[in-house]
Amino acid sequence: MAKRVAVIGAGAAGLCAVRHLSASPEIFSVVCYELGPTVGGTWNYTDRTGKDENGLPIQSSMYKNLRTNLPKEVMAFPDFPFNTCLPSYIVHQDVLEYLKSYADQYNLYKYIKLNTMVTEVHSRQSTGSKELWDVSYCPSADRSQVQTQEFDAVMVCNGHYSLPLYPTIPGMEEFRGQVVHSHDYRKPDEFRGQTVVCLGAAASGQDIAIDVSHQAKMVYLSHNKSPLQTCLPENVQQKPGIAKLGTHSVTFLNGEEAELDVLLLCTGYHYHFHFLSSDCQVQISDERISPLYKHLVHIDHPTMAFVGIPKTICPFPQFDVQVRFFVSSLCGQFTLPSREEMISDTERDFQRRLSEGLPPRYAHVLGPWQWGYNDELAELAHIQLIPRVVQKLYDYVHETRVRDIARYKDCNYEITSEEDFKAV
């Protein structure tokens, strides 16, 4: 019998999982559950914030003017390029159309249950040592009609850009201005003529600060990194982190004080798996998910995988490697290490990060480590490596971004071989 695999989420990671599973119908039978009315996950822009028409939290964190901060030439799945007529830095609508085209190309819709909410996932042992999974689900619009289906494996692909992380800031309760998390940021027009603090200077914080500056009177980009060595718009100033808030003011860590209308929190997101029952034995502590081998495979339940957990990465190519790695383990093309070896490998990686001064919440942040990680997965599973040009262009773009955050998206690129690219 074919192995029955449940895929939770039909964003980029989930579509990639369905594509590779459905390519071997003699080995796998796949069902994908998607909460929304269409595929694409977070790339489905909506003006709405808070709750959707079914009373469920809005999943998307897209804002109206978002353009990708990576060129399409490195964003694509390895064998499915973007339309070459598009510029390198594309708008979110183009990414959504790309994902829909991907689903069409590989005939994925027939495996996907849209408008379907996964309510619970249970682990249970069948006869012998084989583990089975019970996945309970219901229509998004009528959560009283719950059904349950049995599976041999589960791939969790629900993303991690929907549950905002709110920091604790002294004076927050007394602050009388507006507090908005980037998850709910949509248009700069809403901040016309106002003084805004963007707290957080990761990629989205930087991009949103630039976007807001087109309408705001003043934007303070507040963060605890070394000062960004880049040109910024005249009305954007860098400041250190926030010491405290007043009723209509902010005091930065250097003691400087400024009047404030809006606090815009670009402070990231929580990992969140509300549908996992306690018998799934997944722990999240300080944004570290345990126990995961290679940020992917559940060590104690190796027929469960979490695709797309790492941060600061080139996402779609990595999703593809992660999916192919896990699918290869499910069909027996290679064997995962022993439980003890997986635990040791995971702890060794975590301790390396701590020894380099990174806090535990950076457990899944890869950055420059992503390329070695991708190659290791590919080599372990005997699957094709990501072409080296993806790393070369990704690193080059990072350098241009660091120098000129406001204009680096004006550049365009062309892949000329698996090893090289050129600016056009």
Q: Is residue 412 part of a domain?
A: no
Q: Which of 265, 295, 323 is at the close of a domain?
A: 265
Among candidate residues 144, 172, 184, 180, the one with its CA nearest the CA of residue 60: 184
58 and 157 both lie in a single domain: yes
pLDDT at residue 215, as a whole number: 97
pLDDT at residue 128, as a whole number: 58
Run of H or E including 139:
strand 131-139
Report the chain (424 residues): mean pLDDT per 10 consecutive residues.
96 98 97 97 95 92 96 96 97 98 98 97 78 96 93 96 94 96 97 98 94 98 94 95 97 97 97 96 96 98 97 97 98 95 96 92 95 97 95 95 92 96 95
175-225 pLDDT per residue, tens = 999 999 999 999 999 999 999 999 999 989 999 999 999 999 999 999 999
245 and 367 both lie in a single domain: no
DSSP for 167-206?
PP-TTTTT--SEEEEGGG---GGGGTT-EEEEE--SHHHH
41 and 104 both lie in a single domain: yes
pLDDT at residue 345, as a whole number: 97
Q: Is residue 400 part of a domain?
A: no
Domain ranges, residue 219? 178-265
- What mean pLDDT value characterizes the chain? 96
Q: What total number of domains does the chain contain?
A: 2
200 and 334 both lie in a single domain: no
Q: Which of helix, strand or coil describes residue 326?
A: helix
pLDDT at residue 125, as a whole number: 75
Q: Is residue 406 part of a domain?
A: no
Which residues pair with residue 149 across a beta bridge? Answer: 135
209 and 142 both lie in a single domain: no
pLDDT at residue 126, as a whole number: 62
The encoded tokens of residue 389 equal: 């040009």
pLDDT at residue 80, as a whole number: 97
Classify each residue of 22-51 as buried b or exposed e, where b means 16 or more C-beta atoms within 10 Å of its C-beta: beeeeebbbbbbbbbebbbbbbbbeeeeee
Residues in the chain: 424
Q: Which of 247, 265, 283 is at the close of a domain?
A: 265
27 and 112 both lie in a single domain: yes
Q: Is residue 398 part of a domain?
A: no
Residue 99's CB is within 10 A of a number of other CB atoms, namely 25
Greatest CA span in the chain, whole angstroms?
68
Residues ≥6 apart with Cβ < 8 Å to 265 = 164, 166, 167, 179, 180, 181, 182, 199, 200
